[in-house]
Amino acid sequence: MKFRNSLFLLIAILFLASCGNEKSSITGWNYNDPDNGGFQKYAFEEQETGPNLVLVEGGTFTMGRVEQDFMYDWNNVPRRVTVSSYYIDQTEISNFHWLEYLYWTKRVYGIDYPELYKKALPDTLVWRSKLAYNEPYVDYYLRHPAYRDYPVVGVNWLQATDFCGWRSDRVNEYILIREGLLVHNVDQIGEDNFNTDAYYSNQYNSGKRIEGLADLNPNGTGYRNVKMEDGILLPKYRLPTEAEWEFAAFGLIGNSVGERIVEKRLYPWNGHAVRNPDEAYIGMMLANFKRGRGDNMGVAGNLNDNADITAPVFSYWPNDYGLYNMAGNVSEWVMDVYRPLSMEDVDDFRPFRGNVFQTKQRDNEGLLLDKYDIPIYDLKGLQSYLNDFYDQTFDGANDQEGELLTTLTEQIERALELLADDQKYEANVVIVEESIEAIKGSDESVKIAPILLKDYSSYIVIRPGEIRYRETKVEENIDRRNYKRSDNINYLDGDPKSHLDEPHWSSFEDSDKTESGSMYVYPGQGQSADDFASMVNDHARVYKGASWNDRAYWMVPGTRRFLDERQSTPTIGFRCAMDRVGSPVGLGGSR
């Protein structure tokens, strides 16, 4: 039910409360009746489709290799799986979408926490090459209007995930404004910004047009915030899982009769060719990719894909789900942590590796803790970075720079001691109020200060205004059979069951995964870069599909590659997804 203004909202609720009440089918008591306690049931038809999203009807398919594995990675063994229905962006996220995100971030956080704006900036220097002239892309690709509809690149996995969270809040804020519950509050500053979880938890009260929905609870205040049970706000935007992205890319919904897939696909279209066979468009490239060595776009006067680098996000022909550029233009981040044998380990229903289960933080009385009013950092990752920076810089640093590095090292060690004592907020106060201020207040002779400030920003994991979460603990899952630990990234691949070094099993069982005996050692957990055991670790994320600089082999949706979540390239972008709740076919239908 959608209410266009507060007056209509109140009239509708009073009508529901006064006449024609629906009765409970199990107790006989009236719903929406304050005389019966006021338990409310709102009319609900269907999940609203968010901006730029397309409903992908799920189902079963063979995930993995459909092309010869000439790389001999053996990391995409075919396996039949099922994905539920979900939503995914019709196009890649564009430069202009990202500029909108940057503008909001600077407007809200720019005064108190400018480091959050720095964290959101794409790395435009990814275009540089030692033996190529790519400076025009460094200067113009992100911001010049000629490229506004081109996919954003230079964005790492963490930045893409942050964007999804920001987009979730902006869309839900717009819905509440549209329904007359909030005003468009352009004065949001710092932690006083709209966050969906904070709103659900009654920790965002700015910009209310009215007190809220009428609350029929006779013991209540008469008004309340929108709840999830009302079905008004949307689920969160997120990156698609690897299975979801691959399923959407194939677009098999347009290639089946009944329950029979009439032709197995190699690409997101039928056939084994990369040119359009239709008479009206015959010979035109179906995607933006690199045809061969030294051939990024073909011959002048007859460019084969009309794009030397990326192309606008609505280029070429969509697949049968209506999705553009699922075979080229840019490769795309997905949510999964990379493991070569994921296909053998993950469930066959909604397969995914990367779960770290969390719960909201509460006090001793069971009440939610106040939302964060400062940025929260990845302190262990920050320590690893600082150790490496210290080792590489200290010998060439002047006295003032050496003193600053020593101070920062002492502060991060003190913060980690607080973190080990379960004082996460206090640990981050050390960084925000001491380390960041020490960097900002440095003398002009400290030339490394701007570098440190920018790099520190990349380790922010939670923004002011977000609800406090923590990882679940083993002791609160004593009676559970489906999981015990919070972090399940290493389950069946890297945990004690699959550990190679038997003498370390016992110590590894009760420690972080980063003890010296663990299978996947990596910086970011108190380790230095010298401790790398493998490029495959808990920070390696999967990306899918071909880019403008890839050969046709990578256009096969079953192919998979990986990159560290903090790294970015000029060939990787992303699109968002969203959970589908309710009927898998839409419009409340069933089959």
Residue 262 lies in a domain: yes
| C-alpha distance from residue 2 to each of 12, 41, 48, 396 (Å) | 11, 14, 11, 64
| Among 8, 3, 253, 122, CA closest to 567 | 122
Shared-domain flag, residues 531 and 561? no
Shared-domain flag, residues 249 and 227? no
Model pLDDT for residues 528-576, shown as the tens digit of each residue: 445 555 688 889 999 999 999 999 999 999 999 999 999 999 999 999 9
Residue 483 lies in a domain: no
**pLDDT of 317 strictly over 60:** yes
Residue 469 lies in a domain: no
Model pLDDT for residues 41-91, shown as the tens digit of each residue: 888 888 999 999 999 999 999 999 888 888 888 888 999 999 999 999 999
What single letter denotes the amino acid at residue 211? E
3-state helix, strand, coil in the chain (%, to 5): 30, 15, 55
Shared-domain flag, residues 259 and 321? yes
Q: How far apart are CA 420 and CA 232, in angstroms?
A: 40
Shared-domain flag, residues 496 and 430? no
The alpha carbons of the chain give a radius of gyration, in whole angstroms, of 26
Q: How far apart are CA 126 and CA 591, in angstroms?
A: 48
Taking all residues of the chain, what is their mean pLDDT, rounded to a whole number? Answer: 87
Model pLDDT for residues 481-528, shown as the tens digit of each residue: 999 889 999 888 877 665 554 444 444 444 444 444 456 665 544 444
Q: How far apart are CA 73 and CA 77, in angstroms?
A: 10
Shared-domain flag, residues 449 and 421? yes
Model pLDDT for residues 117-146, shown as the tens digit of each residue: 999 999 999 999 999 999 999 999 999 999
Percent of the chain with pLDDT over 90: 61
Shared-domain flag, residues 344 and 259? yes
Shared-domain flag, residues 347 and 387? no
* C-beta of residue 242 within 8 angstroms of C-beta of residue 79: no
Among residues 231, 262, 291, which one ends one of the domains? 231
For the chain, the domain total comes to 4
Shared-domain flag, residues 81 and 27? no
pLDDT of residue 290: 94
- The residue behind tokens 């400030």 is 453
What single DSSP character describes residue 431?
Answer: I
Mean pLDDT on 401-420 = 93
Q: How far apart are CA 516 and CA 537, in angstroms?
A: 14
Which residues have CB under 8 Å from 450's CB, separation 6+? none
Pair of tokens at residue 569: 């390239």
pLDDT of residue 132: 96
Q: How far apart are CA 333 and CA 155, in angstroms?
A: 10
* C-beta of residue 101 within 8 angstroms of C-beta of residue 161: no
pLDDT of residue 511: 45
Shared-domain flag, residues 258 and 348? yes
Residue 138 lies in a domain: no
Shared-domain flag, residues 381 and 411? yes
Residue 437 lies in a domain: yes
Shared-domain flag, residues 244 and 348? yes
Mean pLDDT on 160-164 = 98
Beta strand spans in 311-393 (E) = 331-337, 358-360, 376-377
Which residues have CB under 8 Å from 480's CB, separation 6+? none
Task: Show the domain range for 527.
Answer: 490-537
Pair of tokens at residue 246: 């691959």
**pLDDT of 244 strictly over 80:** yes
Residue 8 lies in a domain: yes
**pLDDT of 1 strictly over 80:** no
Q: Which residue has the higher pLDDT, 238 or 45?
A: 238
Residue 433 lies in a domain: yes
Residue 365 lies in a domain: no
Q: Which residue has the higher pLDDT, 391 or 424?
A: 424
Q: What is the CATH number of the domain that holds 243?
A: 3.90.1580.10
Percent of the chain with pLDDT over 70: 88
Among residues 442, 462, 482, which one ends one of the domains? 462
Shared-domain flag, residues 315 and 214? no
Q: How far apart are CA 308 and CA 303, in angstroms?
A: 9
- The residue behind tokens 């609870």 is 217
Task: Establish how many alpha carbons lie within 13 A of residue 295's alpha carbon, considering only the half-sphere containing its beta carbon.
Answer: 11
Q: How far apart are CA 12 and CA 2, in angstroms?
A: 11
Q: 105 in helix, strand or coil?
A: helix
Neighbours of 392 (CB within 10 A): 10
Model pLDDT for residues 335-360, shown as the tens digit of each residue: 999 999 898 899 999 999 999 999 99
